[in-house]
Amino acid sequence: MKIYTRTGDNGETSLIGGTRVPKSHYRIDAYGTVDELNSYVGLIRDQSANENTKYVLGKIQDRLFRVGSHLAADPQRSKMVLPELNEDDLLLLENEMDKMDEGLPVLKNFILPGGHPYVSFCHIARSVSRRAERAVVHLDHHEKVEPIILHYLNRLSDYLFVLARFTAKELNASEISWKPMN
């Protein structure tokens, strides 16, 4: 099987189910942003020395593929059975945040991304997660999206923020509090 098909050379692509849409379509934007997020999560996973974090990030990558498959499918025409997200996926993120948060100082200021490259990667992924959520909200205004997808992306951005803080502490990196400058 060749990776190139030449069917997208004129700016269109196919959804699961066969529907052709422009590559600028809001559905393509949504799953493309989720794909970008998955790449950043892979980058974070590659940086981590913490085995539990690697495991959780691997599960997140799987769930982002699930999200992407749902976003890439034409809800009216696709007959493909797609793997689902469920409440346990949200609970995993919440439980992991609670565990990481136990050892962190109380947050009293906004934090600037930075302090260590790995921490910065977490913040980049967090901001891409928020952009993916906005793209899915935009899609939802045109074509209904399963609510759990929105819940998952929202929770994931929170998880990535806590992971950035947790990682900064693990690496003994400074958290940079935002203070307005003159």
> What's residue 167's pLDDT?
95
> What's residue 3's pLDDT?
79
Extract the tokens encoding 43.
Answer: 């980058």
Nearest to 131 by CA among 154, 163, 164: 154
Q: What is the value of pTM for the model shown?
A: 0.92
Nearest to 122 by CA among 38, 35, 44: 44
Domain chopping of the chain, boundaries? 13-75+84-103+114-177
> What's residue 14's pLDDT?
81
Extract the tokens encoding 15.
Answer: 């959804």
Please tell me the CATH code under which domain 13-75+84-103+114-177 is placed. Answer: 1.20.1200.10
- In order of 3, 62, 69, 167, the CA distances from 17 in angstroms are 19, 22, 11, 41
Q: One digit per residue, pLDDT tens: the chain, 182 residues? A: 777 777 777 788 787 788 888 788 899 999 999 999 999 999 999 998 899 999 999 999 999 999 999 998 888 888 878 889 999 999 999 999 999 999 999 988 899 999 999 999 999 999 999 999 999 999 999 999 999 999 999 999 999 999 999 999 999 998 888 888 88
Extract the tokens encoding 37.
Answer: 């997020």
> What's residue 34's pLDDT?
97
> What's residue 79's pLDDT?
81
